[in-house]
Chain A
Amino acid sequence: MSGEGTSYAPKSPDLSSFYSAGPTPPAEQQPPAQSQQWPLLSQQSQQPRSHQFSPQTHSQTSTYFSDPLAPTPPQQQERHSLSHYQYQYQQLQQQREQHQSEPQKLQIVTPPQAIDQGYSSQSSQSQSHPQSQSQFQIFTQNPTYSSYFPRSQQQPLQSSYTAESPQSGLHIPPWQQYNASSSQPVQQSYNLSGYPTFHQGGQPAHQPEQLDAPLPSNDRSNKLKAMPPRRAAASAAQPPPPVVEPSPVKTKFPTARIKRIMQADEEVGKVAQQTPIAVGKALEMFMIALVTKSADVAREKNSKRVSAQMLKQVVESDEQWDFLREIVGKVEITEEKAGKGGPSKAKSQADSEDSDEEAVPEKKKRGAGRKKKV
């Protein structure tokens, strides 16, 4: 055990040091690959996983299984509430049962990387990279884990992984390879932090609903609740992660357009100068309410994309939106009849369209709509 540890540790920058804190370093098979440059991991990832694990490693499973969990809990608590951790732990155990054939100790290895990975995969889709990075640094700050990841290794590790992650649906990153149940624990830890799930790869039977159960709600408020302790843990040295602002609307509607819409009503006569601005602000808040609620509905339905139906559902959920019922009813019908892409298409294209939509509005500014300000 210890003999292996000492001989092993110098070779492997990340895992070996991780193990050295735990009871025993694994077999020698892993280190050579791990100790090499990080970019090489991508190549390594194509190797069959069994290659990375020797029977020797496996035989030590029991020690790993019981022991490394000890360092893990406090760290988990730091970031989530205790109940979160407990739940995560439960989930992990469930995973273990499902994946008994796989070396269990590896799941224990999972947390730091899994979470890091979860965030990275998010960032690959959604540009919240700094967040994931800071999350990662939390680990390195943690005394237990700082030894696992020598600073010099951190950045390469992060970046090389992130570079690979976007298309990782099929291509399994090295981390997932040696993390026994790979994407599943990852997803859990990810979900527990309150973020919606978007895992690229085929995630199996695992349903986010399971995760919703122990949490009061899986929406923003929950996320916000989950954040503070984590940030507190990050504290001093960490740069504050870019957080989602509650009301981040900076774009203003063209007041001339608003005025024109107002005055399209024949009854409406003169309009004071700031009136369209006031209406524009009200409109902004109206949109925030509708959009946020629609997003909540989408989240409940485990969808990445708000469909017209979801918006309709929101409108019909509150009598405050009564005046919109006719509109949502009408559009729903025309959409289905005329087949204007339809909501089903919207759902199926969720992934591919994501990036386009973001980019389009900038380019597509309609000259006709914009150029004339009255």
Chain B
Amino acid sequence: MTMSDHEIGGNDDLSLPKATVQKIVSEILPSSVGIAFSKEARDLLIECCVEFITLVSSEANEISEKEAKKTIACDHITKALVELGFGDYVPAVMEAAAEHKEVQKGREKKANKFEQSGLTLAELEALQAEQFAAAAARHT
């Protein structure tokens, strides 16, 4: 990834969706905290996030190469995190990966989607109702 040519929002594919980042930021800083991110800070944060991914995957790649593996596995990510001074992320990362594996094994696609949506059942139902209403409105 070349840093020089990726301006803010320059290459969408190689950046992160702003809406998602903004949403996560607001989840970390709910409105009751009373502090929000400026657009500039958010864009900068996105760049930092991309750099973080790049750094971790690059480090993980090296580790996998050393282990003569062709595929970067979770294991390599956690090792890379430790190597890079983010060892405290490892337990949560392993947990997330294990959870995902469970879901995959069960082939519970619905549950998987549900979990990945990051929404509660009530929220999803509300969303569905909203979409139904919107669809109905379109056809009247």
Residues in A lying within 8 Å of B, measured CB to CB:
122, 125-128, 131, 195-198, 244, 248-254, 257-258, 260-265, 267-275, 277-288, 290-292, 294-295, 298-299, 303-308, 310-312, 315, 320, 323-324, 326-328, 330-331, 335, 340-343, 346-347, 350, 353-354, 357-358, 360-362, 364-366, 368-370
Q: Which of A127, A281, A283 contacts B32 (CB 8 A)?
A: A127
Residues in B lying within 8 Å of A, measured CB to CB:
1, 3, 8, 12-41, 43-45, 47-58, 60-61, 70-74, 76-78, 81, 84-86, 88-89, 92-97, 100-101, 104, 116, 118-119
- What is the CB-to-nearest-CB distance from B17 to chain A, in angstroms, rounded to a whole number? 4
Residue of A whose beta carbon sits closest to that of B47: A327
- What is the CB-to-nearest-CB distance from B39 to chain A, in angstroms, rounded to a whole number? 6
Apart from A260-B13, A261-B50, A295-B28, 14 more pairs, CB < 8 Å: A254-B17, A261-B57, A262-B54, A274-B74, A281-B97, A282-B81, A294-B37, A305-B41, A306-B38, A320-B86, A331-B43, A341-B39, A346-B39, A357-B37
Complex alpha-carbon distance, A312 and B14, angstroms = 22
> Number of A-B pairs whose CB atoms are under 8 Å?
273
Known: A341-B39, A346-B38. A290 touches B14 (CB 8 A): no
Most buried by A among B23, B84, B85, B93: B93
Q: Which of B8, B70, B96 contacts A278 (CB 8 A)?
A: B96
Tell whether, in the assembled complex, residue B96 and residue A280 are in contact, meaning their CB atoms are under 8 Å apart: yes
Complex alpha-carbon distance, A370 and B17, angstroms = 8
Tell whether, in the assembled complex, residue A306 and residue B74 are in contact, meaning their CB atoms are under 8 Å apart: no
Q: Which of A198, A262, A286, A347 contacts B86 (CB 8 A)?
A: A286
Most buried by A among B28, B49, B84, B85: B28
Tell whether, in the assembled complex, residue B86 and residue A295 are in contact, meaning their CB atoms are under 8 Å apart: no
Known: A282-B86, A286-B89, A304-B35. A267 touches B41 (CB 8 A): no
Residues of A within 8 A of B57 (CB): 261-263, 265, 268, 271, 279
Q: Which of A196, A250, A361, A366 contacts B34 (CB 8 A)?
A: A196
What are 18 pairs between A and B in contact, CB < 8 Å?
A126-B32, A128-B32, A249-B24, A251-B24, A262-B57, A264-B1, A270-B71, A275-B73, A275-B74, A278-B78, A278-B93, A282-B93, A283-B52, A307-B38, A308-B40, A341-B40, A357-B37, A368-B12
